[in-house]
A and B are shown apart, each in its own frame.
Chain A
Amino acid sequence: MEETKRKNSDYIERAGKEVKNRLSVNDLISRLVNLVDGLEKAENNAFEALFDAYFLYFPEGASLLKERDRFIESIRGNITREKLASFLSITSSSMGYDMSDADLKLLEDVIKQISNLKELSKSINSHMDAVVRTNYPNLHAVAGTLVAARLILLCGGVKQLSFMPSSKIQVLGAEKGLFTKSKRTPKYGVIYHHAALESANQKKRGKIARIVASFISLAAKVDYFSKKDESKILLDKMNSKIRSLK
C-alpha cells in the first residue's frame, strides 16, 4: 500500500512536468483571442439590450442614433429626453414610456460599464500586440497581430504553422466553405482581415491572399527555426510583390 502511494505521486509529478513543458506562449495568445471575442460578444449583446431599453424611453431620439459609437457618445452626458433633444435639435415630446430618475440612473451606469468593456478589450488587444511582437517578430510584421494571433489559435502554434503549406494557411478559418459542396474553393480564411487584403481591389484579393499566405508561411518558418528578426526584408519583398500585381 505504502509503495503504491509513493509511486502514484511520482506519476503526478512527471505528468505535471510534461504539462508545464507543453504549455507555451501560443496558448496565452489563443486564450487572449478567445477573451477578446468573448468580450466583443458580451458588449454587442449588452449594447443591443441597452438600445432597446432606451428606445422604450425615447424612441424618437434613439431611432436617430442607430450606430453604436454615436449612440454612446451622444447619450453619455444627455441621458434625459430634454438634454438629448436639444443635443440632436429635435422636440422633446415623446410617445415613449416615462422613466423615473432612478431608472435613468441605472441606464447611465450600464452605458459606463459598456464603454469600460470596450476599453478593456482595447487594452487586451494592445497587450496581445506586445506579446506577439516580442515572441514572433516576423509573423507580427508580415501578418499583423490580429491575423497572426488567429492563425495561432486555429492551428495550435507557430510550429504547426511553420510546417503548413501556404495554400492551407490561405484558407485557414474557411473550413466551412472549403468542405461544403460548393463550386469553388474559398480564396481566403482569417487572412481576409490582413491590411493588404482589406484595402485591396475585389478582383485582386485572391492573388494578394496567395502572396500574403506564402509570406506568412515564410515568416513562421523564420520565427520557428532561426528566431532572427528578418521582418524588414520579408515585408519589403511582400509589398513589392503585391505592388507588381498592378
Chain B
Amino acid sequence: MELNKVMDNVYWVGNNRRMLVSLNLVKEQSVYGERLVDVKGTQYREWIPFRSKLAAAIYKGVRGIELHSGSRVLYLGASSGTTVSHVSDIIGHNGQVYAVEIAEEMGVHLILLAKTRDNLFPIIADASRISEYKDIVPKCDFLYQDIAQKDQIGIFIENANAFLKRGGFGAIAIKSRSIDVTESPYKVIAAAKSQLQKRFIITNSVPLSPFQKDHELIFIRNG
C-alpha cells in the first residue's frame, strides 16, 4: 500500500479507494471503533469523515491546515475525544492539545483517553466562561471549536482574544441548525462569516455536505 502525505502524520492510504489515516500515537489503541491499518511496520488509525468534521474537510479537498507536529492546540467542545484523538496523533509527543468539554459524562471518556496520551490535557469547563480555565491554558497556535451553541461565534472570538497567538490559526465548525433552525443554512453561514471577518482573516471555508448535514468548517488566521 502507498502513503501520500496530507499534513504532518496524516496520509492517504491506497490508490483506488483512498482512506484517510493518522499515525497512531498509542499502539494498538482504537478510540471509537475505527480500523487500524499497518503499513510497512507502522500503525495508522482510520480517520472517519462521518465522525469527525476535520476529516470531512480534508475529504472535501481542504489543504494547508496549519496543524503541525509540535503545535499547541486549544480544542473547544472535545466531547468524548473522537477528533481530539486525531489532533493528538498529528501534534505528536512534543505538542499539546487542551481539550475543553462541558458535559461531565462525555468528559469521563476524554479523561480516560488522556490517561493513555501524554499530549492531551482534559479540562472540564464551560467554553463560554473563560475565567474557569484562563489560568491553566497557555497561548496556543491553533484554536479549534466544535460546539453546537447559538452564540458559538461570540465564544470563538472571546477564546481567540484570550488564547490565540498573533498570527495563529483556527477553525470553527458551524452548525447552522443550532444557530437558527428557521433561517436557511446559506444565510446563517453568510452571517457567521461576516461576523468572523470583522475580527479575523478567513483563509478557507468548506461545506461538509455529504458527511455532515448543514455544517460548514471555516478556517481563519488571527491577523
Contact = CB atoms under 8 A, between A and B. Distances in A.
Interface of A: 1, 4-5, 7-8, 11-12, 14-16, 18-19, 22-23
B115 interface: yes
A12 B122 contact: yes
A5 B123 contact: no
A26 B110 CA distance: 22
Interface in B121-157: 121-125, 136
Interface centre among A1, A5, A11, A12 (most CB of B within 10 A): A11
B119 interface: yes
Contacts, number: 45
B58 to A, nearest CB: 27
Contact of B122 (A4, A5, A11, A22): A11
B120 to A, nearest CB: 7
Interface string B78-119: 000000000000000110100000001001101100110011
Contacts of B125: 18
Given A12-B111, A16-B111, A19-B111, A7 B104 contact: no
Contacts of A14: 123, 136
Given A4-B119, A16-B111, A22 B124 contact: yes
Please classify the interface of chain B as helix (H, G, I), strand (E, B), loop, or mixed, using the class held by over half of its residues: mixed
Nearest to A17: B124
A11 B108 contact: no
- Nearest 6 Cβ contacts at the A-B interface: A18-B124, A11-B121, A15-B122, A22-B104, A19-B104, A15-B124
A15 B107 contact: yes
A217 B114 CA distance: 41
Contacts of B93: 1, 4
A15 to B, nearest CB: 4
B123 A15 contact: yes
A193 B98 CA distance: 46
A62 B134 CA distance: 68
Contacts of A15: 107, 110-111, 114, 122-124
A17 to B, nearest CB: 9
Given A1-B93, A4-B96, A12-B114, A19 B121 contact: no
A4 B121 CA distance: 10
Contacts of B114: 8, 11-12, 15
A19 B109 CA distance: 11
A206 B110 CA distance: 45
Contacts of A19: 104, 107-108, 111, 124
Contacts of A8: 114, 118-121
7 contacts: A1-B94, A7-B121, A11-B121, A14-B123, A15-B107, A15-B123, A18-B125
A1 B111 CA distance: 20
A22 B126 CA distance: 13
Contacts of B94: 1, 4
Contacts of A18: 104, 107, 124-125
Given A4-B94, A12-B115, A14-B123, 17 more contacts: A1-B94, A4-B96, A4-B119, A5-B118, A7-B121, A8-B119, A8-B121, A11-B114, A11-B122, A12-B111, A14-B136, A15-B107, A18-B125, A19-B108, A19-B111, A19-B124, A23-B104
Contacts of B96: 4
Nearest to B115: A12
B115 A4 contact: no
Interface centre among A1, A4, A5, A23 (most CB of B within 10 A): A4
B136 A11 contact: yes
Contacts of A7: 121
